[in-house]
Structure 1
């Protein structure tokens, strides 16, 4: 890379870090091209980005951002993954790491909070953003459904009582 290309790369990576909420750092020592392509496809399908970057350039891009705390993790052959949905990145990376022992998650950063491997695993266990939204909508709709059921119950009970009296009167009339 020439000096201008390096500057442009650092600027574009810094722009990415300014817009994202989570950055994951992983070690990718010994991954084949097919493995990296497979990982990139999985990341893209989950709405995430994956980039192998020189550690020095990545450190320069991280300087001055909220993710500056992950700079010490940038040693050896590392790669960065990011997305606005932190859970998607963590889940995708950890699922890939289970099937490929050459891909090792080192940690990450969620805003200014630096996470170790255990923190990334805990993040991956959370439900996705879409699942949380669906659960929230369900919680909002539930009270309305219950209120409607409660309001209908007295009318239903009254109708059942009147029907019982009508049957009782019919039975008494037939017996007489």
Structure 2
């Protein structure tokens, strides 16, 4: 990798860190190419990115960003998962680490706040942004459904009363 390629990699990583809400630092010792590709695919499906980069280049990319506190974690064979959704990167990494002991979560950061391994696991346990939006829509629709049911009940009762009076008048 020549100097221009390294500069381009650092620039693309820095751009990704500027856009991201959360970053997770992992170590992958002995992860096969197929396993790494599977992890990247899962991250992409969740709206996150998973990138293996040289620690020196990653530290340069982290410098000056809100995730600068992650620099000391960059030792050994590390990889970075970043996402715009606060929990997507953490969810993907934690779920993959449960199934594969070759991936270890070192730490992470949420909007510049440094997280240890337990913090990343707690972040992964939270519902995603889409799940929260669905819950809010459900909560907003529930009262409207209840109001419609309450408003329809008296009209139905009146219709049954009029139907009963109509039936008694016809019988008489």
Partner SS, residue 86 of structure 1 = coil
Partner SS, residue 75 of structure 2 = coil
Structure 1 residues 112-137: Cα deviation after superposition (integer angstroms, max 9, x where no partner) = 21111111111111222222222222
Partner residue, 2:150? 150
* Number of residue pairs the alignment of both structures matches: 172
Following the alignment from structure 1 to structure 2, what is the Cα–Cα distance between the partners of residues 50 and 95?
14
Structure 2: give runs of 5+ residues left out of the alignment: none
Following the alignment from structure 2 to structure 1, what is the Cα–Cα distance between the partners of residues 146 and 33?
55
Q: Which has the higher Rg, Structure 1 or Structure 2? A: 1
Following the alignment from structure 1 to structure 2, what is the Cα–Cα distance between the partners of residues 109 and 27?
15
Partner residue, 2:35? 35
Of 62-71 and 153-162, deviating more is 153-162
Following the alignment from structure 2 to structure 1, what is the Cα–Cα distance between the partners of residues 9 and 152?
64
Partner SS, residue 76 of structure 1 = coil
Give 1:169 shift: 6.6
Partner residue, 2:14? 14
CA RMSD of aligned residues (A): 1.9
Following the alignment from structure 1 to structure 2, what is the Cα–Cα distance between the partners of residues 168 and 115?
75
Normalising by structure 2, we get a TM-score of: 0.89
Partner residue, 2:91? 91
Give 1:26 shift: 0.2
User: How does 1:116-155 map onto structure 2 within 5 Å?
Assistant: 116-155=116-155
Structure 1 residues 81-137: Cα deviation after superposition (integer angstroms, max 9, x where no partner) = 111123221121111111211110111111121111111111111222222222222
Following the alignment from structure 1 to structure 2, what is the Cα–Cα distance between the partners of residues 159 and 39?
61
Structure 1: give runs of 5+ residues left out of the alignment: none
Give 1:147 shift: 1.6
Partner residue, 2:46? 46
Is 1:112 aligned with 2:112? Answer: yes
